[in-house]
Structure 1
Amino acid sequence: MKYLCLFFLSSVCVLAVTASEPDSTKLEVSVEIPQLNVSEYHRPYVAVWVQDTNRKVVANLAVWYQLTGKTEGEGTKWLPDLRQWWRRSGRSLELPVDGVCGATRPAGKHTLQFASNDKRLASLKPGDYVLVIEAAREVGGRELLQIPFTWPTKSSIEEEVAGETELGKVSLSITP
């Protein structure tokens, strides 16, 4: 219950209770990093963000890169290899970004979950957007996948795309 109000009207007590349901829209992103059979394997750097129809970044959801090294910030040296993310958002950020940046992930399926009141999504205005996932690997390749969606949604959305080299299946699920 968000509000509890008592009103007294000519010797009659009226109890008014107003309950406000929190916005319960959930956005879930699943990113698969494939196991590659190569002689020199390095975990990929991955950026996940939401952009508007003008290709402007409106929310950085995750950036996975090498956080530890021999010298401070050593892992950031390779972030420009995430070319699209770097040009649109990365170079203007002070890294690491709290709650966004994390260590590179091993091969496997990784899930990100966000509620609509998460600070990364709270400023999304109703409209059309694109979820973008970019991966780049040292001594490897680059890959960029996109999933368009509308925010907010009145019914559940399930979309999936598949990468060819650096990314496996990537899915977006939005439930109102």
Structure 2
Amino acid sequence: MPNSINRRRFLEQALKGAAALTAAMSLPQLGSAFAATSTPSKAALPSTMELAINLALAQPSGFRYNRPYVAVYIEDAQGNPVRTVSLWAETSRHARYLTELRRWFSESSDLIPTVSSPTRNPGQYTLVWDGKTDQNKPTPQGEYYVCVEAAREHGPYGLVRQKVTLGTAPLKKSLDTSVNPDLSSVSVEYRKKA
């Protein structure tokens, strides 16, 4: 009889430990831990290449115009944030409108103090992603989403989000901006660094 009690206690303790481990680690973390051990690592993006994101803010119509808040960022193929390239927003007086950048804000709002800069007037702008994460680590070659999210106080909201495949070959691509009238054009160019 003592052996069956010891086995029972052992099984109870083992189950409690497994439950605690499961509670401590979320399922995505478990999945990525298993994926990291079962799949070979991909080669990093070449350090000699960069992704230029060209965007044009449209000239407004009407007399009252608030410059849009714009977040330009990169996501991996699963939609997880990789790098915030730039955030144009008023952070001192109207920080409440940052929530209008819905997708970016839900994942990366803790980066506001380090990546924000003033809003911009209508015109052409070029931003460059060096192929690294927000933690300054190299990223693997593969598929990424280029995201340009724009929102304006008392104005429209729109998210331009398109997949690109980055490796060793150059690439040029125009993105569809019909979802937001504040963006007249967005294009990307994967190129050698100047």
Normalised-by-shorter TM-score class: 0.7 to 0.9
**TM-score (ref. length: structure 1):** 0.74
Answer yes or no: is 1:96 the counterpart of 2:121.
Answer: no
- Answer whether contact 2:82 2:133 (CA < 8 A) is retained: no
Shift of 1:138: 0.8
Fraction of identical pairs, as percent: 26
CA RMSD of superposed structures (Å)? 2.1
Corresponding residue number in structure 2 for 1:125 = 140
Report SS of the residue matched to 1:168: strand
| Structure 2 unpaired stretches of 5+ | 1-45
Distance 2:104 2:133 in 1: 21
Q: Is the 8 A contact 1:147 1:160 kept in 2?
A: no
Deviations 1:121-174 (A, max 9, x none): 6432222110000000111100110121123x2211001124231211101110
Task: Determine helix, strand or coil for the equivalent of 1:140.
Answer: coil
Shift of 1:41: 0.5
Equivalent position of 2:174 in the other structure: 160
Aligned residue runs from structure 1 range 24-173, under 5 A: 24-67=48-91, 73-90=92-109, 93-97=110-114, 100-116=115-131, 122-151=137-166, 153-164=167-178, 165-173=181-189
> Which structure's residues are more often strand, by fraction?
1
Query: CA-to-partner distance for each residue in 1:28-76, whole Å, 9 max, x for gaps?
Result: 0111100011232000000011111221111111100014xxxxx3232
Q: Find the residue that maps to 2:54 and give its secondary structure.
A: strand
Provide the C-alpha distance between the structure 2 equivalents of 1:121 and 1:65, rounded to a whole number of angstroms.
23
Cα distance between partner residues in 1 of 2:150 and 2:174 = 17
2:113 match: secondary structure:
coil
For residue 83 of structure 1, report the CA deviation from its aligned partner.
Answer: 0.8
Question: If each structure's helix is expressed as a fraction of its own residues, which one has the higher value?
Answer: 2
Shift of 1:94: 4.7
Structure 1 residue 77: Cα displacement:
1.6
Q: Distance in 2 between matches of 1:141 and 1:130?
A: 22
Which one has the largest radius of gyration? 2
